[in-house]
Amino acid sequence: MRLYTAVAAGGFRRHATYRVATAAGVFTNTVFGFILSYTYIALWDARPGLGGYAMGDALAYVWIGQGLITVCGLMGGGFEDELIERIRTGDIAVDLYRPADLQTWWFAANLGRCAYQLLGRGIAPLFLGALVFDLTLPSRPWTWLAFLVAVTLGSVVSFAVWYLVAMSAFWLLDGQGVVQIAWLGGLFFSGMLLPLNVFPGSLGEVARLLPWASMLQVPADVYLERYEGWGLLGAYAFQACWAALLLAAGRAAQAAATRKVVVQGG
Amino acid sequence: MAEAYEPAGAGGPGPAGRGLGGAWRTAGESWRTYRMVAAMWIRSTMTYRSSFALTLLSSFTVTFFDFVVILLMFGQVRGLGGFSFAEVAFLYGTAGTSFGLADLVMGSLPRMGKRVRDGSFDTFLLRPAPVLAQVAADRFALRRLGRLVQGVLVLVWGLVLLDLSWTPLKVLLVPVMLLSGALIFAALMVLGASALFWMQDAAEVTSSFTYGGNTMLQYPPTIFAQDLVRGVVYVVPLAFVNWLPALYVLGRPAPAGVPGWTAYASPLVAAVCCAVAGWAWRTGLRAYRSTGS
């Protein structure tokens, strides 16, 4: 446990060294937040109450999305490239000899990364958006806490998805194709482009059941206080189920992969 | 290696020759370098053919999802900011095609920050070939064709749906707009890459202007705050990529009190952008200090 705490702290510190990148990221998220906000305003002007969101809800959704892009890995988990590279070059053999579990190691490192991204890139866009646009803010202070829990669960689901993607590199060597496909799924089904409750008919129903819904749609709805009491627990359970399922799948893939690793020496 | 026989000083940092003759020689040499490096990366990509097919498909689909959002929006409303679906498709197609072209050729530039950081940028300086061409072709990704193809398809769709009275001038304006737009985007990418000499981690700022600009230009200017529209006319001249010429083609007035003749100004603006970007690149290259690693 001490080991993994240290790994998580390392993950936090490592990303904290890239301050210029963080500032650049906040800038980019803010620019996109502006562009998206205006398109949403045009849309909700024409169709008030679309998807059950008032204008302020829709705008809050935009800025939550910009804040969570890196935290919940909507466009890439932020660690899979490195892991795939280690698998491709064979460095992974060294990792496997360490007295630590591979998945837990990367989980801890990613948790540190998420914590940093939440502080560095998550809060600023939401704050800037609230300065310029009339966002819905939670009416109860503990909603923020409930939101934080949902974000944490969302980032765990994100880790589980991207870990599973990275494991595919054991078989495919070049993982870029699978990464792109996963990226595609994340982009569309996380609801980053348009809230999932605006997706029409069965496309919307399916989208709201997929794991990517845990990364933005569920946290945003928790923030917007659309879940109460048992409903809130249900939302958490939805996220936790996907997390457990995908983490288990990642573990199974890891076990199958490590059985076939052949160290080439050198 | 023909480059090795070039007179000393032909390569290296900055363009060697002054005057028009030197500029043409540098351009020709840049093109040769670019082609060679790009061909090398294409060969390397083709080693993993199935992976290439997947990335090409996903590059197409990622951009397609952008458009799905617009389709979903028009599933809910009849017009966006007073623009019909065909008009928005036209805006989307022109912005997407220009951006796709620029991204295909220059899309590798943001990688440069990483190379400056880890010191591998120095190898580019040692080769007797134009540095910008080498960096732009570095890890040339043919899959970016997917984005371009998608932009062209939507453009064609928009043109088919549009019911316009075409004049020769309007017909001519479409290809001019696409090429000038691509040049403006490319110039922004070079400008952003030049900033990486000082701030290696700031690659994302460029994408907010390129990707962000592309997204913004897909929508009608009427939905944005007018100050923002003025910003992309007078500060970062993205409006010249498609908005100003496209509004003329669509028979709509220019936005935010911008004079009407700006519809034809795109090539001029593109030339100025390229000149500024070239100057910034040379300045950055001169200021470059290797990390020594």
pLDDT of A175 above 70: no
Q: Do A38 and B68 touch (CB under 8 A)?
A: no
Residue B221 and residue B229 in contact, taking contact as beta carbons nearer than 8 Å: yes
Question: Residue B228 is part of which domain span?
Answer: 15-287
Chain B residues whose CB is inside 8 A of the A20 CB are: 199-202
Beta bridge partners of B83: B80
Minimum mean pLDDT range among A242-256, B36-50, B254-268: B36-50
Minimum mean pLDDT range among A73-87, B70-84, B257-271: A73-87
Chain A residue with minimum CA distance to B117:
A18
| pLDDT score for B107 | 85
pLDDT of A244 above 90: yes
| pLDDT score for A72 | 84
Integer Cα distance of A111 and A12 in angstroms: 8
In a domain, B69, yes or no: yes
What is the number of domains present in chain B? 1
pLDDT of B104 above 80: yes
Averaged pLDDT for residues A86-109:
85
Residue A262 and residue A93 in contact, taking contact as beta carbons nearer than 8 Å: no
Integer Cα distance of B272 and B253 in angstroms: 25
| pLDDT score for B12 | 42
Residue % of chain B over a pLDDT of 70: 92
Query: Could you tell me the two tokens for A60?
Result: 């809050």
| Cα–Cα nearest to B94, from B218, B207, B215 | B218
The residues in A 156-185 lying below 8 A from B, measured between CB atoms, are 172-174, 176-178, 180-181, 183-184
Q: What is the DSSP letter of B7?
A: P
pLDDT, tens only, B110-169: 888 888 888 888 888 888 888 888 888 888 888 888 889 999 999 999 999 998 888 999
- Residue matched to tokens 């302020």: A56
Q: Do A35 and B61 touch (CB under 8 A)?
A: no
pLDDT of B13 above 60: no
Residue B189 and residue B102 in contact, taking contact as beta carbons nearer than 8 Å: yes
Q: Do A28 and B59 touch (CB under 8 A)?
A: no
| pLDDT score for B11 | 41
Residue A130 and residue A63 in contact, taking contact as beta carbons nearer than 8 Å: yes
Residue from A15, A26, A28, A85 whose CB has the most chain B CBs within 10 Å, to mutate: A28
Tell me what ipTM this predicted complex has. Answer: 0.83
| pLDDT score for B292 | 65
| pLDDT score for A88 | 82
Q: Do A20 and B212 touch (CB under 8 A)?
A: no
Please give the mean pLDDT across all residues of chain A. Answer: 88
| pLDDT score for B141 | 80
- Give me the long-range contacts of A83-91 (CB less than 8 A, separation at least 24): A83/A163, A83/A166, A83/A169, A84/A166, A84/A169, A84/A175, A84/A179, A87/A166, A87/A169, A87/A170, A87/A173, A87/A175, A88/A169, A88/A173, A88/A174, A88/A175, A90/A263, A90/A264
Residues of B near A (Cβ–Cβ under 8 Å) read: 48, 50-55, 58-59, 61-62, 65-66, 68-69, 72-73, 75-81, 199-205, 207-209, 212, 215-216, 219, 223-225, 228
Q: How far is CA A112 from CA A102, A103, A155, B289, B290, in A?
A: 16, 14, 11, 33, 31
Rounded to two decimals, what is the model's pTM? 0.87
In a domain, B188, yes or no: yes
Q: What is the DSSP letter of B128?
A: S
| pLDDT score for A93 | 81
Chain B interface includes A84 (CB < 8 A): no
In a domain, B62, yes or no: yes
Q: Do B50 and A173 touch (CB under 8 A)?
A: no
| pLDDT score for B28 | 84
How big is the CA angle at A54 (ends A52 and A59), to the nearest 5 degrees?
115
Q: Do B58 and A194 touch (CB under 8 A)?
A: no
Integer Cα distance of A194 and A216 in angstroms: 11
Sign of CA dihedral A257, A262, A263, A264: negative
In a domain, B126, yes or no: yes
| pLDDT score for B7 | 40
pLDDT of B9 above 60: no
CA distance B49 to chain A (A): 10
pLDDT, tens only, B172-225: 999 999 999 999 999 999 999 898 888 878 888 888 899 999 999 999 999 998
Integer Cα distance of B74 and B79 in angstroms: 7
| pLDDT score for A238 | 96
Residue A83 and residue A220 in contact, taking contact as beta carbons nearer than 8 Å: no
Q: Do A27 and B212 touch (CB under 8 A)?
A: no
- Give me the long-range contacts of A83-86 (CB less than 8 A, separation at least 24): A83/A163, A83/A166, A83/A169, A84/A166, A84/A169, A84/A175, A84/A179
Q: Do B215 and A20 touch (CB under 8 A)?
A: no
Chain B residues whose CB is inside 8 A of the A134 CB are: none
